[in-house]
Structure 1
Amino acid sequence: MDAPFVLATMARRGLLKPGPPHHILRQFRELGKWGYGLAGELRQAAARSPSRVAVVDSAGACFTYGELLDRSSRLAGALPVSAGDRVGVLCRNSADMIVVLIAIASVGADPVLVNTGLSASQLSAVTAAQGLKVVVHDEEFSALLSGFAGAIEINRTLAMIDSVPPVVLSPPPRPGRTIVLTSGTTGMPKGARRPTPGGFSPLCSIIDRIPLRGGVRMMIAAPLFHTWGFAGLQIALALRATVVLRRRFEPFESLSFMRDQDCTALIAVPVMLQSLLELPPELALPPLEIAAVSGSALPGGLATRFMDRYGDILYNLYGSTEASWASIATPADLRAAPDTAGRPPHGTAVAVLSPSGTPVPTGETGRLFVGNEMLFEGYTNGSGRELHGGLLATGDLGHVDEAGRVFVDGREDDMIVSGGENVFPSEVEGLLAGLPEILECAVIGVPDDEYGQRLAAYVVLRESATLEEDTIRSYVRSHRARFCVPRDVVFLPALPRNATGKVVKRDLPR
C-alpha cells in the first residue's frame, strides 16, 4: 500500500497531531521493537498518551494507557506460560480481559479467543484440538472447565498482578499470534491463525471508509472473542481511543452506559441494532457519529430503519474470520442500495468468479474471492481455504453492480436448487424482513418430494402483531418467482442464535 495514502489517512483521522517530541520518539521506538500486534499497539499508545483513559467497563474498572501497560506487563511475568504456548481466553467483555490478552501476547504466547456460547462438550473438544496449556476464564465458566487442569479463573489474575513488582519487558523471541475460532454454526469451531499487521496499512484501509478518529470514545458491544470485536480492540489501541465495555449487550442498559460515557462510536453486530430499534423512540441514542457493524448479514430494511431513526451514521463491514474484510458500506452506499455490502476499501480486491475460475459479467452471481493484507494464515489443524490468483474464497456467492458495489447473495452451501432453479434463502429473508409485522426471520432449504428442495421460513413476529402463513406466502409470490415461495412457514418466539448473534440454522425445528 502506498505511503501517501497512509499518511493522508492518518492525518485526516487526527493521528499525526503534534505532541511532545520525546513521546513521539518513544512511540515509534516501541512500534519498531514490538511490532503492530496487541503488545506493540498498547506500548505505542502508552508511550504517546500514558494518562489517557484506555478502557472503562461496567464493573467499575478504569485504566489509563500507562496503567494498562503496567498491569499487563506484571501479569505477563506471573502467568505460567511462555512463548509458543496456546492460551485460551474464555471471558465476556471487560477491562480485565484486555489485560489478559495483552499479557499473553507480551510473552509471545498465542491467545486463543474462545466463544462464550460453547457447550461443555464443545469446549472440551476445542481445548484438546487447539492444544491449550492454560485457559483464563470468567467465574461463570468454572463448571465447564472443571476437568481441565490448566484453568485459571480471571479473578486469580488480580492476585498475580499484585504479586509482581513493576516490570519492563523485552520483546519475546517470537510475537504472539492471535487465534480466532470460527463460528461453529455448521460444525466444530476451527482455529484460524490471524496475521500480525506489518504496519499502518490495514488500519488505514478501515478508517479511510469508517471515519474513526484518534482518541475516539467507542463502545465495543461486539464480543471481543469475535473477529469484529477483536478488530475493534486493535483499531482502538492504534487510535489511542477509550474503549467502553459491558459484559453483555442489553439494549437499554448499553444505551444508558454509552450516554454516560460520552461515546461517539459503536462497534456492534447487526442483531444489536435490531434490539436498539425495539426500544421506545424517545430513548434516543447518545450523539453517535458512527455505528459500525459486521459479523452477520445486515438486512437492507434494518439498515434503512436504523438510519431513518438515528441518522446516516451506519457503516457495514463485510468480511470473515479468514478474510478479515472484503468491502465496507458507507451510509451513502446503504441509502443507494440498502442491501449492499459496500465497496472494497483501498488495497483490497474482490472478484466474482464462475465455478471454473473465470470472472463473471457485472451483475451476475458467482463465487466471491477477496485479497488484502490480512488474509488468515490457515487453520490450526493444517488445512486452509481455496485460493485463486492470490485471492481467498469467502464461501459466499454474490455479485457486483455497475457502481462497483458488492452484494452477497448467500452462502455457497446455503443455495438450494428447487425445480431446477437456483434459490438463495437470504434473498427471501431480506424480503420478509421488510414486513412491518416481522421482527426477524430465517429461511432455509428443506427436502421436497416434487421439487427436490423448497424453502422453509421461520418467523418471529413483533409483540401484539398477527400474520397468517398464507399472507406471508402471498407476499413472497407477489415480489418473487414461485420457486421462492416458502413451502413451510413456522412461527417461533425467537430465533436460535450464538453468542455473536448469528442464527444457528441447524437448531431450527424441522
Structure 2
Amino acid sequence: MYLTQGLHRAVQQHPDDVMTVFGDRTRTFAEVADRVGRLAAALQGLGVGSGDRVAMLSLNSDRFGEYLLAVPWADAVLNPVNIRWSPAEIAYSLQDSDTGVLLVDDTFAPMLPALREAAPGLRTVIHAGDGPTPDGAESYEDLIAGHDPVPDARRGGDALAGLFYTGGTTGHPKGVMLSHANLMVSALGILSTGYLFGSGTRCLHAAPMFHLADMAAWNATTAAGGAHVIVPAFEPVAVMNAIATHGATDSLLVPVMIQMLIDHPQIAEHDLTSLRAVLYGASPIAQSVLERAMKAFPNADFTQAYGMTELSPVATLLSPDDHRRGDRLRSAGRAAPHSEVLVVDAEDDEVPRGTVGEIVALGGHVMLGYWNQPEATAAAVRDGWMHTGDGGYMDDDGYVFVVDRIKDMIVSGGENVYSAEVENALATHPAVASCAVIGVPDDQWGERVHAVVVLRADQTVTAEELREHAKTRIAGYKAPRSAEFVDALPVSAAGKILKRELRAAHWSEGDREVH
C-alpha cells in the first residue's frame, strides 16, 4: 500500500473527473497526476534523495494536496508543519528532522528570515503561493513548468511516509514516524465502514491539512477516487459557501467548528443539503449541539473518531447509528475495523469491563516510533500495543469511555497541548515563582488552557500579561486563556504537584475530568 495508489487508479478509471477544487482552480485527476510527477522531478533535481524530509508550511490549498502526493512520488518523506506554531517551534522541528527543503505559501513567507536563521540546515525554499516569489526561493509553478514528470517511486509498505510532530511532555515536540502502511490501514479502515468518504465523495477540507486528522480524510477520499473541495482555513461563511457551491458531501470538523457553523446568523441562507457525512473528533459533542447540527445538516450522518497521531490516527469510531440512538454520545465508540482496543492496568493486563485503566491499541496503524527517541518509543509501544496515555473504561458492548488523561495533556479546540510546554514558557516570566497548567471545561473549546500561578514576593502580573508572554515562546493556542493566582500549589509527599486537586475545583462531573 502506498499514498499515491488511489491517484493511479483514478487516472486509469476516470482521468477527466475533477479531483481538486480550490477557489477558481479546478483540476482533473489526469492534470493532478501530471503536476505531481513534475513536482517530484523538481524535488529530485533540487537534491532530494530517497528518504529525505520535505516540509510544507501553508494554509490549505490544492498545492498542499499535490505536495502530499509528490513527496512520496519522489521517494521522499513528508513533514507537514503545524501552522499555529511559533517560529522557534517550527525551526526546532526542521532541525530535529534534518529537513532541507521547505514549501511555503504567501501567508508564511514573511517568516522565512527567522526560519533560515534558526534552522541553518534549511537549504532550499519553494514558494507555493500566488504572490511574488521571495528572494532566494524557487517558484513552485516555474519548477512544475520546467520539469518533465518522473516515474512514481511507489514508496510504500513499511517505508517511512511522514514525520508528524506533536507536542512533547518535556517541552519539545516529538516526530511521530508513520509508514505508508500505517496511513493506508487507517484510511481503508475508515472506508470499510461504508459511511464515510465512499464512492462519489466530494470531501471538504476546512480543518488544517497539515493535521493528521484531515490527512486521514484526504487519504481515504483519494483511495476511493473521490474529489477534494478545499478552503484555505476554517471560516463559517467560506465553509457554507463551499458546501452550497460545490456540493461537498463529506467533511472532517471538530466540535467547535460545528458549533460555530450552527451559531452563525447566515446559516439559513445557504443550501447545505449536499452534506451527507460529518466526521468529528477531539472531544464528544454536546447533545444539544448535535441536535441543532442535525437540523442544520438534514442529510448528514455524524461519526465521532477517537485516536491520536501515533495511531495514524483512528482507533475507535462512534457510528451514525450510535448517534441516532443517542444513548452513548459520551462514548468514544468501539474499535474501528482496523484496530484492536483494550483497557489495561499498570501491568498491561486487561481490566474487567467498567473498570478504569489505560486505553491501548494494536494493529497496522500503530506508529513506527518517535524520530530519534528510542526510549520514548519503547515506553509508548510495548509488545506492539500503543499506550495512549488516556484513562478510560469499556462497557460490556465494547464501547470505550475516556474519563481522564494519564499524560499531562489538554485538548483545546481539537489541538493537543502538553502542560509542560506551557509551564516552561510561563516559568521564564520574572514574576512567576512556580506554576501548574491544567485543562478546565470551556463551552467553546471543550477544554481551556488554565494556569495556576504562584508569584514571587513583591511581584504582580495579570493573566493577560502572562498569556502574551507565553505567546512569545509557544504557539498562541497553547498560551493560557485564563489564570488564577494562589499562595502555594498542592504537592504530594514526594513533592509532585497534585493537579487532580487543582482540576477538581473546575470539573463538576463525577465520572469525567476531560472532554
Q: Which residue of 2 aligns with 1:399?
A: 393
1:319 aligns with 2:307: yes
Q: AA paired with 2:277?
A: I
1:104 aligns with 2:95: no
Q: 2:286 aligns with which of 295, 300, 307?
A: 300
| 8 Å Cα contact 1:107-1:176 kept in structure 2 | no
1:330 aligns with 2:330: no
Q: AA paired with 1:387?
A: V
| 8 Å Cα contact 2:104-2:127 kept in structure 1 | yes
Deviation at 1:202, TM superposition (A): 4.0
Distance in 1 between residues matched to 2:163 and 2:453, nearest whole Å: 40
Q: AA paired with 2:208?
A: P
Q: AA paired with 2:447?
A: A
Deviation at 1:508, TM superposition (A): 4.0
Deviation at 1:379, TM superposition (A): 1.1
Deviation at 1:138, TM superposition (A): 0.8
Q: CA separation of 1:309/1:185 partners in 2, compared to 1, >3 Å: closer, same or farther?
A: farther
**Deviates further, 277-286 or 228-237:** 277-286
Q: AA paired with 1:109?
A: A
Q: Which residue of 2 aligns with 1:288?
A: 275
1:250 aligns with 2:242: no
Q: Aligned with 2:56: secondary structure?
A: strand
Distance in 2 between residues matched to 1:265 and 1:38, nearest whole Å: 20
Deviation at 1:394, TM superposition (A): 0.7
Q: Could you give the per-residue CA deviations for residues 419-443 of structure 1, whole angstroms, max 9, x where no partner exists?
A: xxxxxx87x73xx74xxxxx45536
Q: Which residue of 1 aligns with 2:105?
A: 138
Distance in 2 between residues matched to 1:446 and 1:440, nearest whole Å: 16
Deviation at 1:388, TM superposition (A): 4.1
Q: Could you give the per-residue CA deviations for residues 318-348 of structure 1, whole angstroms, max 9, x where no partner exists?
A: 0100022210011332312221111112242
TM-score scaled by structure 1?
Answer: 0.73
Distance in 2 between residues matched to 1:391 and 1:232, nearest whole Å: 24
| Aligned positions, number | 414
| 8 Å Cα contact 2:51-2:75 kept in structure 1 | yes
Distance in 2 between residues matched to 1:288 and 1:185, nearest whole Å: 38
Distance in 2 between residues matched to 1:200 and 1:415, nearest whole Å: 27
Deviation at 1:37, TM superposition (A): 2.2
Q: CA separation of 1:279/1:239 partners in 2, compared to 1, >3 Å: closer, same or farther?
A: same
1:38 aligns with 2:7: no
| 8 Å Cα contact 2:183-2:365 kept in structure 1 | no
CA RMSD of aligned residues (A): 3.4
| 8 Å Cα contact 2:207-2:233 kept in structure 1 | no
Deviation at 1:100, TM superposition (A): 2.1
Q: Which residue of 2 aligns with 1:56?
A: 21
Q: CA separation of 1:245/1:185 partners in 2, compared to 1, >3 Å: closer, same or farther?
A: farther
| 8 Å Cα contact 1:263-1:286 kept in structure 2 | no
Distance in 1 between residues matched to 2:208 and 2:249, nearest whole Å: 19
Q: Which residue of 2 aligns with 1:163?
A: 146
Question: Unaligned 5+ residue runs, structure 2?
Answer: 117-121, 130-138, 411-437, 455-462, 485-515
Q: Aligned with 2:307: secondary structure?
A: strand
**Deviates further, 296-305 or 151-160:** 296-305
Q: Could you give the per-residue CA deviations for residues 7-57 of structure 1, whole angstroms, max 9, x where no partner exists?
A: xxxxxxxxxxxxxxxxxxxxxxxxxxxxx3222332222222211111111
Q: CA separation of 1:115/1:367 partners in 2, compared to 1, >3 Å: closer, same or farther?
A: same
| 8 Å Cα contact 2:451-2:480 kept in structure 1 | no
Q: 1:442 aligns with which of 447, 458, 471?
A: 447
Q: AA paired with 1:442?
A: E
Deviation at 1:405, TM superposition (A): 1.1
Distance in 2 between residues matched to 1:99 and 1:310, nearest whole Å: 30
Q: Aligned with 1:128: secondary structure?
A: helix
Q: Which residue of 2 aligns with 1:189?
A: 173
Distance in 1 between residues matched to 2:476 and 2:341, nearest whole Å: 24
Distance in 1 between residues matched to 2:349 and 2:476, nearest whole Å: 32
1:151 aligns with 2:164: no
Question: Unaligned 5+ residue runs, structure 1?
Answer: 1-35, 417-424, 434-438, 450-488
| 8 Å Cα contact 1:108-1:173 kept in structure 2 | no
Q: AA paired with 2:344?
A: L
Distance in 2 between residues matched to 1:189 and 1:107, nearest whole Å: 26
Deviation at 1:189, TM superposition (A): 2.2
Q: Aligned with 1:322: secondary structure?
A: helix
Q: Aligned with 1:140: secondary structure?
A: coil
Q: Aligned with 1:205: secondary structure?
A: helix
Deviation at 1:226, TM superposition (A): 0.5
| 8 Å Cα contact 1:349-1:372 kept in structure 2 | yes
Distance in 2 between residues matched to 1:188 and 1:234, nearest whole Å: 28
Q: Aligned with 2:237: secondary structure?
A: helix
1:340 aligns with 2:340: no
1:65 aligns with 2:6: no
Distance in 1 between residues matched to 2:381 and 2:225, nearest whole Å: 35
Q: CA separation of 1:503/1:144 partners in 2, compared to 1, >3 Å: closer, same or farther?
A: closer
Distance in 1 between residues matched to 2:329 and 2:28, nearest whole Å: 39
Deviation at 1:391, TM superposition (A): 1.5
Q: Which residue of 1 aligns with 2:363?
A: 372
**Aligned residue runs from structure 1 range 348-497, under 5 A:** 348-383=339-374, 384=377, 385-414=379-408, 429=441, 433=443, 439-440=444-445, 442=447
